[in-house]
Amino acid sequence: MIRVAILGSTGSIGRSALEVVRRHPDRFEVVALVANRSADMLTAQVAEFRPAMAVLCDETVEMPTDPGGATSWHRGIEAMLAVVADPDLDVVLNSLVGAAGLRPTLTALEAGHRLALANKESLVAGGPLVRAAAQRGGGEVIPIDSEHSAILQCLQGAGETEVHRITLTASGGPFRGRPAAELAQVKAEAALRHPTWDMGAKITIDSATLANKALEVIEAHVLYGLEYEQIDAVVHPQSVIHSFVEFVDGSVLAQLGFPTMELPILYALNYPDRVDDAALRTYDPVRSSPLTFEEIDHEAFPMFSLGVEAGRRSGCAPAVYNAGNEIAVQAFLEDRIRFPDISEVVRRTMDTIGAHAPRDLDDVIAVDSAARTVAAEEAARCGEAMGTTS
């Protein structure tokens, strides 16, 4: 049995992970479930999967009054970190959203666990720290992001020096093909209608701005040690090819499948062996054709190049980009700023906060916090301008 802790079990990825476990009870055992505030959903999950531990990270949320069963309930971030450090675990699946995922990522790797990682923000905010923690503790990161899972699958059996470049695919989001001038008017409701993936709100907005693809370029740089010149991204609206790897001899491998996160989750939990799963065997090339590809429109979606620039600047610049983006996305979701203001807020935040190399976790947390303060001020400024123009 593979003993799994699921962080963010009440979110989109967490629920997909539980669906995978539900289909393979003879292979995976859920030993801990962690959420932030969704106490009712967590209670229902605990009743079904009977983990040893359940944690609500938000200290202010009410604990279930009569949770019943043998599960031990806890509250707070330290309780989550204690779960993650448990030496009896085999896999920590981190599907928290945002830089809040960094501490459990580091703890899991320092404890020597396999980290099945959906929380790309932890690699972006703390890439060098994540690498160091894995080296120190002996843990390993297996990505859940479909693009990085695709790359990992294509790399099986390949030598380190054999990769020439990789190409990440992007759906293009709900505003693909729309000119920059039209995007000032779009609202969160439209941005949340993703054409191919059903995901949490933050990543859905990131997909609409293409910030998600920039985060994934940085993620690929950290995971696979490739230079930024070796990492491309291309729009592929059908979301069937999840990424390409081009080798030094010109051969290109790709991984395909209809969009579902359950496949990369299953692959990460059981890596490197594949598991028979009839529910996922649905790919049909006739039904999926034609497969098309387009260049990214950098004018309409400046968050992509801004994010890649943050990656190239290195040091704390990716953490600043990420924190600014989290604040801007929340402001857009709450209708306080317009869609193009997201990149404005992030650009101004990056111009304000320096990009020194992070010394340690406290340093990253301080930079993240400073960036959030600047981004909130910039969002307020954009909001005032919106008030005067609307």
Contacts with ligand NAP, residue ranges (CB under 6 A):
8-14, 35-38, 57, 95-97, 100, 118-121, 145, 197, 199-200, 202-203, 261
CB of 11 to ligand NAP, least distance (A): 2
Give the count of beta carbons closer than 10 Å to the beta carbon of residue 22.
Answer: 12
CB of 249 to ligand NAP, least distance (A): 31
Residue, CB closest to ligand NAP: 11
Residues 266 and 364: their CA atoms lie apart, in Å, by: 31
The residue (of 37 and 313) whose beta carbon lies closer to ligand NAP is 37
Whichever of 197 and 258 has its CB closer to ligand NAP, that residue is 197
Closest approach of ligand NAP to the CB of residue 264, in Å: 8
d(CA 317, CA 309): 9
- DSSP bridge partners of 168: 233, 243
Question: d(Cα 231, Cα 175) in Å, to the nearest integer?
Answer: 23
Both tokens of 267, joined, read 């692959």
Question: Do 225 and 315 touch, CB atoms closer than 8 A?
Answer: no
Q: What is the β-pairing status of strands 53-56 and 28-35?
A: parallel
C-beta of 8 vs 307, nearer to ligand NAP: 8
Cis peptide bond prior to 104, omega within 30° of 0: no
Beta carbon of residue 52, minimum distance to ligand NAP (angstroms, whole number): 19
Nearer to ligand NAP, 202 or 236 (CB): 202
Closest contact distance (angstroms) between CB of 305 and ligand NAP is: 20
Q: Is the Cβ of residue 202 or residue 338 nearer to ligand NAP in the bound state?
A: 202
Q: Which is nearer to ligand NAP, 101 or 246 (CB)?
A: 101
CA-to-CA distance for 174 and 192, rounded, in angstroms? 8
Least distance between ligand NAP and beta carbon 175 (Å): 18
The alpha carbons of the chain give a radius of gyration, in whole angstroms, of 20
